[in-house]
Amino acid sequence: MPATVPVPAIRTSLPGPRAKAMIERDAAFVSPSYTRAYPLVMARGEGAVVEDVDGNLFLDCAAGIAVTATGHSHPEVVAAIVDQAQKFLHMSGTDFYYEPQVRLAEAIASIVPIDGPVRSFFGNSGAEANEAAIKLARYHSKRPFVIAFLGSFHGRTLGALSLTASRAVQRKGFGPTAPGVFHAPYADCYRCPVNRRPDTCQAECLGFLEDQVLVHLVSPDEVAAIVVEPIQGEGGYLVPPAQFHQRLQALAREHGILIVADEVQSGMGRTGRMFASEHFGLRPDMVTIAKGVASGLPLGIAAARAEVMQWTPGAHASTFGGNPVSCAAALATIRLLQEQLIAHAAEVGDYLLDGLRDLASHHPLVGDVRGKGLMIGIELVRDRETKARAIEERDAVVDEAFKRGLLILGAGRNTLRLSPPLVLTRDQAAVALKIIDESLGVVERTHGHQSSA
């Protein structure tokens, strides 16, 4: 991938001939349940740049759904992977011991926003981490029920799916899900569920949980855990006010309920802090981690206060969880985050947020710009007064950006998400802003929205 070539660089129609051929093969043999936003067939990547099989170069602001935290194939992560792979690939931390898993558990204990000693359970994904958290919460508390939030995404395995309330299609056809889960409104300050104003918000949206769910549906002393995303991901990149998490934490402490912070998407430096919980003063009892923790290798972690993680041998396990190669990648990732990338994400994220808010001033499609670090949401609306959701327009902007060589994804029903590798440079961020500006303009013209530019 020549460093002198400007990025993006689109050389063929999209998809190109090789990409078309690969997509046809995929259609014959791969599960149709996968959601593909656009016809990208990757060949290789470096940093925040992706090359497809036809030689087209794209600027990546999706990072494999917020996974490649250190960029594509960071040389130090690759070196750690190769070094461990040359020693051994697998020995199952469920039945045996090996240093990479122990070292990673020590590292996780040192960085998670959990008070006191910490222990970790290792799986392969965010869904598995959340499955472990659900089971551990019930096992420890001897309570049967769990509370989650509308708009949340915690995974697709049956237990995690019972918490997930992002889109009906994710649950359709799989019911009944695991019993004993109740949902409450999340703090969406752009579309407040209780019609409050952000400048005077006291997290009144939690009143539904306090005065309805915990009064009419379930007794607080039977609730094992509240599972919450510090910043809601698939629900639309929603950033709650600090009062939401502080009031939620006080409620949980009052009733002896465990708090599980799902940091699968918001953790590992993405928000300009190691964990998004740190922005809100949230001190959970458990933290679930995946996505960016190993820069692309499969790894899920459920970290908990040591006094909570006291289950007996055989209570929960995983053959492949804590794979030594994934652990090596995670250790390299954590070091890179601490040395440079967390601060870099905060700096470039501020630049992107400022640029996007400037774009909003002359793009009527943009209703709200929100985020922290490099976890940024752009909510599109057909009318700023009514806040009518611009669902088709959002999808059209994603397509227009792809045509211009920028990889972005949607979140929620009508939000664009920017979740680039944390190595994204300021110059690359400026290119992303230019393409988003152009893409919004095209969609506004074709869908009849008058731009003030």
Question: End of a domain among 322, 351, 370?
Answer: 322
CATH, residue 268 = 3.40.640.10
Q: Is 347 in the same domain as 267? A: no
Report the C-alpha gap between 409 and 91 in whole angstroms: 37
At 438, which amino acid appears?
E
Q: Is 304 in the same domain as 347? A: no
Q: Is 287 in the same domain as 261? A: yes
Q: Which residues of 262-286 are buried (b: 16+ CB within 10 A; e: fewer)?
A: bbbbbbbbbbbbbbbbebbebbbbb
Q: Is the pLDDT of residue 452 over 60?
A: no
Cα torsion angle, 134, 140, 146, 150, sign: negative
* Position 330 in a domain: no
Q: Which of 321, 328, 331 is nearest to 93 (CA)?
A: 321
- Give the pLDDT confidence of 139-160 residue by residue, as tens digits: 999 999 999 999 999 999 999 9
Mean pLDDT to the nearest integer, 206-234: 96
Q: Is the pLDDT of residue 33 over 70?
A: yes
Question: End of a domain among 260, 295, 322?
Answer: 322
- Give the pLDDT confidence of 156-178 residue by residue, as tens digits: 999 999 999 988 888 988 889 89
pTM, 2 dp = 0.95
Q: Taking the mean position of all CA atoms in its chain, how far away is CA 351? A: 21
* Position 116 in a domain: yes
Q: Is 292 in the same domain as 351? A: no
Report the C-alpha gap between 55 and 238 in whole angstroms: 36
Helix H or strand E encompassing 227: strand 223-228
DSSP class of residue 430? H
Helix H or strand E encompassing 181: strand 181-184
> Tokens 């093969």 correspond to what residue?
25
| Percent of the chain residues topping a pLDDT of 90 | 90
Q: Residue 146 belongs to what domain range?
A: 91-322
- Give the pLDDT confidence of 396-412 residue by residue, as tens digits: 999 999 999 999 999 99
190, 370 Cβ separation under 8 angstroms = yes
* Position 181 in a domain: yes
> Tokens 């306090």 correspond to what residue?
210
Q: Is 237 in the same domain as 348? A: no
Number of independent structural domains in the chain: 2
pLDDT score of 228: 98
pLDDT score of 453: 47
pLDDT score of 167: 86
CATH, residue 442 = 3.90.1150.10
Q: Dump strand ranges (E) for 20-62.
A: 42-46, 49-52, 57-60
Q: Which of 97, 45, 93 is nearest to 295 (CA)?
A: 45
Q: Is the pLDDT of residue 450 over 80?
A: no
Local confidence band at 451 (pLDDT 50, 70, 90 cut-offs): low
Q: Is 98 in the same domain as 146? A: yes
282, 261 Cβ separation under 8 angstroms = yes
Strand partners, 411: 415
* Position 186 in a domain: yes
21, 70 Cβ separation under 8 angstroms = no
Report the C-alpha gap between 405 and 327 in whole angstroms: 33
* Position 294 in a domain: yes
Query: Taking the chain, what is the end-to-end CA distance rounded to the nearest angstrom?
Result: 36
pLDDT score of 342: 98
* Position 12 in a domain: no
Report the C-alpha gap between 182 and 356 in whole angstroms: 36
pLDDT score of 196: 79
pLDDT score of 437: 98
Q: Is the pLDDT of residue 257 over 90?
A: yes
pLDDT score of 4: 64
> What count of other Cβ atoms lies within 10 Å of the Cβ of residue 430?
12
Q: Is the pLDDT of residue 68 over 70?
A: yes
* Position 1 in a domain: no
Report the C-alpha gap between 134 and 148 in whole angstroms: 11
Local confidence band at 383 (pLDDT 50, 70, 90 cut-offs): very high
pLDDT score of 3: 56
414, 381 Cβ separation under 8 angstroms = yes
Q: Is the pLDDT of residue 430 over 60?
A: yes
Local confidence band at 421 (pLDDT 50, 70, 90 cut-offs): very high
Mean pLDDT to the nearest integer, 34-57: 97
Q: Is 99 in the same domain as 67? A: no
Question: End of a domain among 273, 293, 322?
Answer: 322
52, 19 Cβ separation under 8 angstroms = yes
Local confidence band at 1 (pLDDT 50, 70, 90 cut-offs): low
Q: Is 353 in the same domain as 208? A: no
Q: Taking the mean position of all CA atoms in its chain, how far away is CA 196? A: 27
Q: Is 425 in the same domain as 392? A: yes
Report the C-alpha gap between 326 and 323 in whole angstroms: 5
Mean pLDDT to the nearest integer, 257-277: 98
Local confidence band at 203 (pLDDT 50, 70, 90 cut-offs): confident
**Over the chain, what is the mean pLDDT?**
95
Q: Is 237 in the same domain as 298? A: yes
Structure tokens at 453: 């530019």
Q: Is 246 in the same domain as 99? A: yes
* Position 222 in a domain: yes
Q: Is 158 in the same domain as 45? A: no
328, 345 Cβ separation under 8 angstroms = no
Report the C-alpha gap between 187 and 245 in whole angstroms: 9
